[in-house]
Amino acid sequence: MPRAALIYSEVLAKFDYGDDHPFKPVRARNTMEMCNRHGLLYGLDVTRPEPFSADLKDLELFHTKKYIDTLQRANSCEHDIEMLAAGIGTPDCPILPGIFDFSLRVVGATLLATQLVQEGKTDRAFNLIGGLHHAAVDHAEGFCYVNDVGIAISSLLEKGKKVAFIDIDAHHCNGVQDKFLYSPDALIISLHEMSDGFYPGTGRSNEIGCEAGKGYTVNVPLAPKTDDEAYVDTFKKVVPPLIEAFNPDIVIAEIGADTVISDPLTHLRLTSNGYEEVVKMICEFSPKLVAVGGGGYDVYRTSNCWTLAFGVMADIEPEDEYAGLVGGMMYGGEVGGLRDMKIQTKGEDKDLVWRQARKAVEYIEQTIFPIHGIKNP
């Protein structure tokens, strides 16, 4: 059985949001090229299945029929007031030719990853163009027209599975959180930047779920300039204890690389080193793992991070036969540019980072850990 599956579609990678739009599906093609260059795509441990397109009934697991109909009309670039009311036709989510077809294939890719892992055909599966976690049940937002994560979680819940969703994207997973606020069978954990005016403005520590789902929504808001040291320490204190207590059947992880120091839309300061360490932890404690790409707007560094992530999933150390012959990218460049030099936030900025991180951890330890029977350290 292959250890890991990499879900990729050239059709998806070619889809274009426009020259001025920050969301670039071409990141997936760059990642495939980097994985190939570093020896990650061949051998018995890796499989590369072609994704299928989802059905309308799959979309209905999360979205309203009215919204699905509206998005379907946008496929041929129709324009009407209903589309704008549904968030389609905004700068974030423009009306694009073929957007409905693209959305169906993204959902199909995530469902394929889920199916492969659930059926025991692989231990871990990574859909490079997935993680559209902002889309709501009835509208598009944040570059996301459909919520493939929410659809995958809903499909697993229908089968009686317990699902943990871990989101390390820099932006809060508002669309996923809103859908499962009342569910005790879906544990939603998000580590994300929280600062004035930063999108989407949700994900505060006191958003912990409702009624039977109280304690199953976990938010870890982090200060701008949070670096590897603070991020990894915070992750270790919060996520592994919750996963152990919840004991999920399957873990879905959004491993967005917009947390890295060079991302143009965010203000965190991770390097590929901290990013890779967190992915390693996710792989270690996940009984079965579905990973989705999420954000990452420094296209090339995102591809580097996702290459490292897939190497971890496949238990293969990336090796670049051209290392040392070609210069690395800014901020470092060990192993052909995949790994960065260590960079730390210092001074008053680091003090603020630690205060915010410790405050978030203490709230979770005092408020959420007891719900799950976890003893405070």
pLDDT in tens, 53-98: 999 999 999 999 999 999 999 999 989 999 999 999 999 999 999 9
Give the pLDDT of residue 323: 64
| SS3 at position 141 | strand
Cα separation, 283 vs 351, whole angstroms = 30
Give the pLDDT of residue 320: 80
Q: Of 250, 244, 235, give the one whose Cα is nearest residue 192.
A: 235
Q: Of the listed 38, 63, 134, 192, which one is catalytic? A: 134
For residue range 137-170, what is the model confidence (pLDDT) as tens digits?
999 999 999 999 999 999 999 999 999 999 999 9
Q: Of 244, 169, 246, give the one whose Cα is nearest residue 209.
A: 246
Cα separation, 138 vs 132, whole angstroms = 14
Mean pLDDT of the chain: 95
Q: Give every CB contact of residue 171 below 8 A, 6+ residues apart in sequence.
A: 133, 134, 142, 192, 193, 198, 199, 200, 256, 258, 266, 295
Beta partners for 250? 163
Give the pLDDT of residue 330: 44
Domain 4-372 has CATH 3.40.800.20: yes
Give the pLDDT of residue 292: 98
Each residue's pLDDT expressed in tens, for the chain with a length of 377 residues: 789 999 999 999 999 999 999 999 999 999 999 999 999 998 878 999 999 999 999 999 999 999 999 999 999 998 999 999 999 999 999 999 999 999 999 999 999 999 999 999 999 999 999 999 999 999 999 999 999 999 999 999 999 999 999 999 999 999 999 999 999 999 999 999 999 999 999 999 999 999 999 999 999 999 999 999 999 999 999 999 999 999 999 999 999 999 999 999 999 999 999 999 999 999 999 999 999 999 999 999 999 999 999 999 999 999 886 665 544 444 444 444 788 988 999 999 999 999 999 999 999 999 999 999 998 77
Give φ, ψ of 10 to 5 degrees.
Answer: -65, -30
Q: Give every CB contact of residue 196 below 8 A, 6+ residues apart in sequence.
A: none
134 is known as an active-site residue: yes
